[in-house]
């Protein structure tokens, strides 16, 4: 991929709730002066709390209520129209709780990105923290990946991990990983905005100039081997 960022990298973020990952992305873009703009935040629910947060920071927002459409295909077509009004280079799913149709995914092939709360390919689907605890894994995490028509599948851009502790509940794991998610997604947005990300012939992601795309929660903070804290 070699997107034309002559006027900066434009991003549309899709949410369904409070959009904490969206907030982390916006804050990183603005505070660190990344060559990117969050052009809009769109939701499928009018009561998504992240919409108010984004609007309060001058970001255009919009709602495409999925219940107003008789099929997934009709909803996805309306959502695509709303997205395309902003001509984004990338569309980021940040807690967007809808399964998208293959036609929608293909429309944004190579430009549609998601964060999933597990170390894919482990634990696709819902209730990932419960799945991790049930399997007795010692590390759990999150994955930022390009979206394909196969649910929770696609070329992996980066992953973050945190230890599973004795006595953990699903809520404990979710809380421990939230900061990792925020750091991970924001770093991926940096790489995208700087034009570092590509997909090779084997459908593997390459990130130019980045030594490691793994982030680990440690007692000292979130670290990436080969990259600074």
In this structure, are residues 215 and 221 in contact, taking their beta carbons and an 8 Å threshold? no
Element (H, E) at 220: none
Those residues whose C-beta lies under 8 Å from the C-beta of residue 216, and which sit 6 or more positions away, are: 160, 161, 162, 222, 223, 224, 225
Q: Which residues contact 194 (CB under 8 A, 6 or more apart)?
A: 34, 35
Residues 159 and 143: their CA atoms lie apart, in Å, by 4
Q: Which of 116, 129, 140, 182 is catalytic?
A: 116
Q: Is beta strand 214-218 parallel, antiparallel or unpaired with respect to 221-223?
A: antiparallel
Number of H-type helices and E-type strands within the chain: 6, 11
Write the DSSP string, 113-141: EEEESSSTTSS-SS-HHHHHHHHT-SEEE
Determine how many CB atoms are found less than 10 A away from the CB of residue 4: 8
Q: Running DSSP on this structure, what letter comes out for residue 68?
A: G
Q: Which two tokens stand for residue 123?
A: 């634990």
**Spatial contact of 53 and 24, defined as CB atoms under 8 Å apart:** no
**For this structure, is 116 an active site residue?**
yes
Provide the annotated active-site residues: 116
């Amino acid at each position: 991929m070699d997107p034309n960022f002559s006027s900066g990298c434009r991003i549309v973020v899709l949410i369904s709730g409070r959009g904490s990952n969206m907030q982390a992305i916006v804050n990183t873009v603005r505070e660190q002066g990344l060559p990117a703009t969050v052009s809009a935040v769109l939701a499928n629910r009018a009561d998504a709390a992240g919409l108010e947060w984004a609007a309060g920071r001058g970001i255009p927002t919009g709602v495409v209520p999925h219940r107003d459409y008789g099929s997934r295909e009709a909803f996805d077509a309306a959502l695509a129209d709303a997205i395309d009004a902003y001509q984004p280079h990338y569309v980021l799913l940040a807690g967007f709780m809808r399964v998208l149709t293959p036609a929608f995914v293909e429309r944004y092939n190579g430009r549609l990105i998601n964060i999933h709360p597990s170390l894919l390919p482990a634990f696709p689907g819902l209730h990932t923290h419960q799945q991790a605890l049930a399997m007795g894994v010692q590390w759990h995490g999150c994955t930022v990946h390009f979206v394909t028509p196969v649910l929770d599948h696609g070329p992996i851009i980066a992953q973050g991990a945190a230890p599973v502790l004795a006595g953990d509940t699903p809520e404990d794991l979710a809380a421990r990983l939230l900061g990792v998610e925020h750091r991970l997604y924001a770093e991926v947005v940096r790489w995208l905005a700087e034009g570092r990300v590509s997909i090779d012939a084997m459908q593997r992601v390459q990130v130019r100039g980045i030594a490691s795309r793994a982030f680990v929660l440690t007692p000292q903070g979130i670290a990436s081997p080969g990259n600074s804290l």
